[in-house]
Amino acid sequence: MRLILLGAPGAGKGTQANYIKEKYNIPQISTGDMLRAAIKAGTELGLAAKKVMDAGQLVSDDIIIGLVKERLKDADCANGYLFDGFPRTIPQADAMKDAGVAVDYVLEIDVPDEQIIERMSGRRCHPGSGRTYHVKFNPPKEEGKDDVTGEPLVQRDDDKPETVKKRLDVYHNQTEVLLGYYNKWAQSGEPGAPKYRKIEGVGPVEEIRDRAFAALSN
């Protein structure tokens, strides 16, 4: 199973990625993790990336694709792999295609913006332990207080509605075009074209998981 997972920030990709990884026994490939590993290992690409990052610049698509190709040679990718959060742009998708990175499925998890804003802006956490709650879906026993210690809960900056809206704007402006890109490629009938599947990401986590598994089995 070689898969790209697409969807807005807060659509639940991380949760579903864990289910998919376990079911198919494949690694989740995150460009952030790869960059950190390559820098730590001092590989040629890692050193090149570090130089760019130290200068406060963005790592080029060429370096990222190089890291991806290296990562896919590892033994744990023998059964396949799952990309989450990559590619983010059309040039990255083109570079992956040109590099011959095989993809069987592109799975889109679709959640309306207002649901994502409600989902993320309702989160509260206990800084000391990392325990998380949700004002609507998983409220603490006493409003605004941790169940165990009684200490106050906080809303992380990432979860504030204005921050969530900004992240969604970036997604709509930069990454959403990939949905059309992969859909069109899937319908082209070209050899090596992936299958494109779209599932609704609203409802109980287990239901969404079952939708994902069903989508990936046909």
Q: 90-131, pLDDT tens digit by residue?
A: 999 999 999 999 999 999 999 999 999 999 999 999 999 999
Amino acid symbol at 34: M
Positions marked catalytic:
13, 88, 123, 156, 167
Render pLDDT for 177-190 as a digit per residue (tens, 0 to 9): 999 999 999 999 89
Q: Which pLDDT score, from 0 to 100, does residue 84 have?
A: 85
Determine how many CB atoms are found less than 10 A away from the CB of residue 24: 16
Task: List, for residues 7-50, the tens digit of each pLDDT value.
Answer: 998 899 989 999 999 999 999 998 888 888 899 999 999 999 99
Note the pTM of the prediction, 2 decimals: 0.85
Outline where DSSP puts E strands in the chain: 2-6, 28-29, 81-84, 105-110, 123-125, 132-134, 195-200
pLDDT surpasses 90 at 153 = yes
